[in-house]
Amino acid sequence: MKIEDIAAYLQSIRKDALFINCDVLETESFDNLDKVTWVEIVNPEFTSLCPKTGLPDHGTIRIRYMPEKLIIELKSLKYYFLQYRNTGIFYESLTKLILEHLVKKVHPLEMVVEAEFTPRGGLTTKVVSTYKK
């Protein structure tokens, strides 16, 4: 197989950010009347695709939020993350998109999404997106 064939195949399976659907995310009720509970979720096996090369990007996604009335259901979050596996998207865009989708579903008082990716070309990248009601 030629390198051009491989590149064409990688391009053919690559989705764009519009492929990511937040409707898969589910929530559960949670009472945080005293506003002292923080939730932290870490996904150390996050994968997306480089939008330029189609090669996989591996990283850790850390979500930290103060719920008001809802919390995210974890299995649905895992399925949500799986959508990124075939999506060509820059780190900065995916971090912002994850925050946007989670805020839309959970309506937290505060939320921080951090995306930290393994080195590529000797460079590491960490992107942080924040929300406060």
Residues carrying an active site annotation: 50, 57
CA 39 – CA 63 distance, rounded (Å): 8
CA dist 115 → 7, 54, 70, 83 (Å)? 26, 19, 23, 16
Give the number of other CB atoms < 10 A from CB of residue 78: 13
Helix (H) or strand (E) holding 80: helix 74-82
30 and 39 Cβ atoms separated by less than 8 Å: no
